[in-house]
Amino acid sequence: MQRRTFIKTLSYLGAASAFPFLSARGFAAISSAIPVAELPELKGELTLYLGRGEGGLYEDVLDAIKKRNPNFNLRIRRGPTAALANMIMAEAKAGVSQADLFWAVDSGAIGQVVDAGLAQKLPGDLTQQLQPEFRFSHWAPISGRIRTLPYNPDRISAAQIPDSIMALPDTDLSIAWAPAYASFQSFITAMRLIEGDKATTHWLKGMKNKTKQYAGELGVVMAVERGEVDLGLANHYYTLRLKSGKPDARLALAFTKNDAGCLINASGVLALKEGKTATDFIRYLLSKEVQTYLSTEAYELPLAGQLPTPAGIPNLAQLSPPNVDLTKLADLRPTINLMRKAGII
């Protein structure tokens, strides 16, 4: 219970910045995030395919990078993440490759493109900047999002929420979820990898009668806030963003322990063509300034260096995310089949 009180205190005080970013497991040497001032100037032109807009926030980051590098021209195509991944593969097949970089909000889409052999290997000193469990040879995670249980404190107390995601079907809570949403499916994939197919099917079937379906996870969080349900399953930032627009929102966050319920997934970037400018551009995304901005303004978890988590989220030492290889989350097909079999989608 102490932990939850702590989380609550944090979300009221917004004092998370006082706590250093410490990894729960790895204490391997992580350099502190590199300030933009130490990065080489970007020159030439790059084409970026940006999966999902994320409003003006990623845009602000990109604008700032452009402004800092007057001799650099960045061309951006925005689209739904899955559509852009399909597009990149279609272009590669036709030999008309347009993009230098692909930045996607969903590591599953990144995995698809990496598996198709279209991503370039990244230099080692670049991946070294990331937390040890977020180092991959062909793509760089940029920001993290953690699975959470947003709940309505007017309807239930924190004590009624189990510590284990697998215990959720045995409670008498009413629950909102968005099974068609990519992050949810990644979470089920993680559950499948940790608990096995049988337990996951059992869990899905047990949840089926307790849940109300929504189109996306913002809808889930809104439904919790409106009191349509007691509790929801959603990425952390939807709650923080809703609260930033509506500070008196009836919303609080709970976290499960060491299971798929508190999976940390990541948005990520990969280079489709070789070139110094492309890798230097990725360095900018991992810079101290960009990482801090994404954390304070978009409420995402910074993954490079040792930066604080956004206000409202405890630092990672307080959380216990499961140990799952993010690239394995791209294996969606068995998850979809399982969800169909359970009658969820």
Partner 1 sequence: MTRWPLSYTISLVIALLAFFPVIILFALASDSVQMFDIRNLEILSNTLLLMLFTAVGAVLIGVPLALLVTYVKIPWRKFWLILLAAPLALPSYLGAFTFYAAFGTGGEIENVTGIATPALNGLLGSSVIMALYTYPFVLLSTRAALSSLDASQVYAARTLGMPLLSSIWHVVLPRIRNGIAAGTLLAAMYALSDFGTPAIMGLDTFTREIYVEYNSFGLSQAAMLSLQLLVVVGLILYLESKVKGSQEPPGRHLTFWPKPWQANLLLLTTLPIVMLAIVLPLAIFSLWLWREGTGNFDFTYALNSAYASLLAAFFAVILALPLAYAAIKGTMGRIMERITFIGFGIPGIVMGTALIYAGLQLPFLYQTLALLILAYVLRFLPLAVGTIRSSTESLDGSLVNAARVLGASPKEAYQRITLPLTMRGIVAGGALVFLEVMRELPATLLLGPIEFETLATYLWRVYEAGYFGRAAIPGLILIFISALGLALMFSTERWNSVELNEEEQR
Binding-site ranges for partner 1 (CB under 8 A): 47, 52-57, 59, 75-80, 82-87, 90-91, 94, 96, 98, 108-109, 112, 180, 182, 185, 212-215, 218-219, 222, 225-228, 238, 241-242, 245-246, 330, 332-333, 335-336, 340, 345
> What string of DSSP letters covers 119-143?
SPPPPHHHHTTB-GGG--SS-EEEE
End-to-end CA distance of the chain: 35
* Longest pairwise C-alpha distance within the chain: 60
CB of 87 to partner 1, least distance (A): 5
The residues with which 73 forms a beta bridge, in sequence order, are: 45
CA 205/CA 211 separation, integer angstroms? 10
CB of 224 to partner 1, least distance (A): 10
Nearer to partner 1, 45 or 325 (CB): 45
Amino acid in the structure at residue 230: D
CB of 162 to partner 1, least distance (A): 26
Nearer to partner 1, 15 or 83 (CB): 83
> Helix 333-341 vs helix 197-208: angle between axes, to the nearest 10 degrees?
50
Helix (H, G, I), strand (E, B) or coil at 63: helix
Which residues are CB-neighbours of 84 under 8 A, at least 6 positions away?
49, 50, 51, 77, 102, 104, 109
Nearer to partner 1, 106 or 133 (CB): 106
Nearer to partner 1, 319 or 344 (CB): 344
CB of 39 to partner 1, least distance (A): 24
The pair phi, psi for residue 36, each rounded to 5°, is -55, -35
CB of 341 to partner 1, least distance (A): 11
Nearer to partner 1, 202 or 212 (CB): 212
CA 144/CA 146 separation, integer angstroms? 7
CA 337/CA 345 separation, integer angstroms? 9
CB of 92 to partner 1, least distance (A): 10
Nearer to partner 1, 268 or 321 (CB): 268
CB of 108 to partner 1, least distance (A): 7
Nearer to partner 1, 52 or 138 (CB): 52
